[in-house]
Structure 1
Amino acid sequence: MTAGQPVNGRRPAIFLDRDGVIVQNRHDYVKSWAEVELLPGALTALQTLRATPFAVVVVTNQSAVNRGLLPPATLDDIHQRLQAIIEKAGGQLDAIYVCPHRPNEGCDCRKPLPGMLLQAAAALELDLGRSFLVGDAITDLEAALAAGVQPLLVRTGRGRGHEALLDTQTHAICPVVDDLSAAVSWILARAA
Structure 2
Amino acid sequence: MSKLIILDRDGVINHDSDNYIRTVDEWIPLPGSAEAIARLSKAGYTIAVATNQSGLARGYFSEETLHAMHQKMQDLVSSEGGKIDCIKYCPHGPDDQCNCRKPLPGLIEQISETLGLPAESSWMVGDSLRDLQAGQAMGCNVALVKTGKGVRTLNKGEGLNGVPVFEDLAAFTNFILNEPS
Shared fold (TM-score, shorter chain, > 0.5): yes
Cα deviation for residue 183 of structure 1 reads: 1.1
Q: TM-score under structure 2 normalisation?
A: 0.94
Alpha-carbon offset, residue 185 of structure 1: 1.8
- Alpha-carbon distance, 1:90 to partner: 1.5
Conserved 8 A contact 1:16-1:133: yes
Q: Please give the alpha-carbon distance, in whole angstroms, between the structure 1 residues aligned to 2:177 and 2:118.
A: 16
- Where does structure 2 lack aligned partners over 5 or more consecutive residues? none
Distance in 1, matches of 2:163 and 2:177, equals: 16
- Of 153, 156, 165, which residue of structure 1 is paired with 2:147? 156
CA distance in 2, matches of 1:107, 1:171: 25
Letter in 2 for 1:71: S
The residue that corresponds to 2:171 in the other structure is 182
Describe the superposition over 1:24-51 as per-residue Cα deviations: whole angstroms up to 9, x where unpaired.
0011111111101110111220121122
| TM-score normalised by length of structure 1 | 0.89
Q: Could you tell me whether the CA contact under 8 Å between 1:19 and 1:25 is conserved in 2?
A: yes
Match of 1:46 in 2: 37
Task: Verify: 1:84 aligned to 2:93, yes or no.
Answer: no
Q: What's the offset of the Cα at 1:75?
A: 0.6
Matches within 5 A, 1:73-112: 73-112=64-103
Structure 1 counterpart of 2:15: 24
Q: How does 1:109-124 map to 2 (within 5 A)?
A: 109-124=100-115
Conservation of the 8 A alpha-carbon contact between 1:137 and 1:153: yes
Residue 76 of structure 1 deviates from its aligned partner by 0.9
1:17, 1:90 → 2: CA distance?
21
1:128 alignment partner, SS class: coil
Question: Are 1:166 and 2:157 an aligned pair?
Answer: yes
Q: Residue 173 of structure 1: SS of its match in structure 2?
A: coil
Counterparts of 2:163 and 2:178 in 1: how far apart (Å)? 16
What is the aligned-residue RMSD (CA, Å)? 1.4
Matched positions, count = 179
Q: Report deviation, 1:130.
A: 2.3
- Determine whether 1:65 maps to 2:92: no
**8 Å CA contact retained: 1:138, 1:166:** no
Shift of 1:53: 2.4
Deviation of 1:174 after TM superposition, in Å, equals 1.0
After TM superposition, the structure 1 stretch with the greater mean CA deviation from structure 2, 142-151 or 83-92, is: 83-92
Greater helix content:
1
What does 1:142-153 correspond to in 2, within 5 Å?
A: 142-153=133-144
Separation in 1 of the partners of 2:175 and 2:157? 19
